[in-house]
């Protein structure tokens, strides 16, 4: 399997004035009616937030909002970025891409790794 990952993402969390505290509530907003790769990315992002001690919640009431912009032009390609909103600031991360060329779809382990990279760049380890 050949995997291409473009981790050219902005450190959005570092640009926001208030540090992000683990165990804080966070709203994760994913695309509506996602294709399978995007749905798996959102699930991996939610799991990654929980692993970092954040409390993902439904609705938009959390002081920290992570908005997922993603598209999947084919089953082996996933483009995504995170937009971080906190304290009236909005930081748009650069788009990353994960691509596989020898499979029909992107393995979940690779999507989990991609989600981890997106989160690390947006809110830190």
Per-domain residue ranges for the chain?
Answer: 3-13+22-123
> In degrees rounded to 5, what are phi and psi of residue 86?
-160, 140
Q: Considering the entire predicted model, what is its pTM?
A: 0.81
63 and 48 in contact (C-beta within 8 Å)? no
pLDDT at residue 19 greater than cutoff 60: no
pLDDT tens profile 46-101: 999 999 999 998 777 889 999 999 999 998 999 999 999 998 999 999 899 999 99
CATH for 3-13+22-123 (3.30.70, 3.40.50, 3.30.870, 3.30.420):
3.40.50
pLDDT at residue 40 greater than cutoff 70: yes
Contacts 24+ apart (CB under 8 A), 73-78: 75/36, 75/37, 75/104, 75/105, 75/106, 76/100, 76/101, 76/103, 76/104, 76/105, 76/106, 77/106, 78/37, 78/38, 78/41, 78/106, 78/111, 78/114
């Amino acid at each position: 399997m050949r995997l291409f990952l473009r981790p050219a993402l902005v450190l959005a969390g570092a640009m926001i004035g208030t540090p992000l505290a683990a165990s804080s509530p966070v709203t994760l907003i994913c695309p509506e009616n996602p294709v399978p790769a995007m749905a798996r990315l959102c699930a991996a992002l939610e799991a990654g937030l929980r692993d970092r001690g954040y409390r993902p919640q439904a609705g938009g009431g959390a002081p920290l909002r992570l908005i997922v912009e993603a598209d999947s032009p084919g089953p082996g390609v996933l483009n995504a970025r995170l937009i971080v909103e906190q304290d009236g600031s909005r930081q748009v991360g650069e788009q990353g891409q994960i691509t596989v060329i020898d499979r029909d779809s992107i393995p979940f382990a690779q999507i989990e790794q991609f989600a981890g990279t997106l989160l690390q760049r947006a809110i830190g380890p």
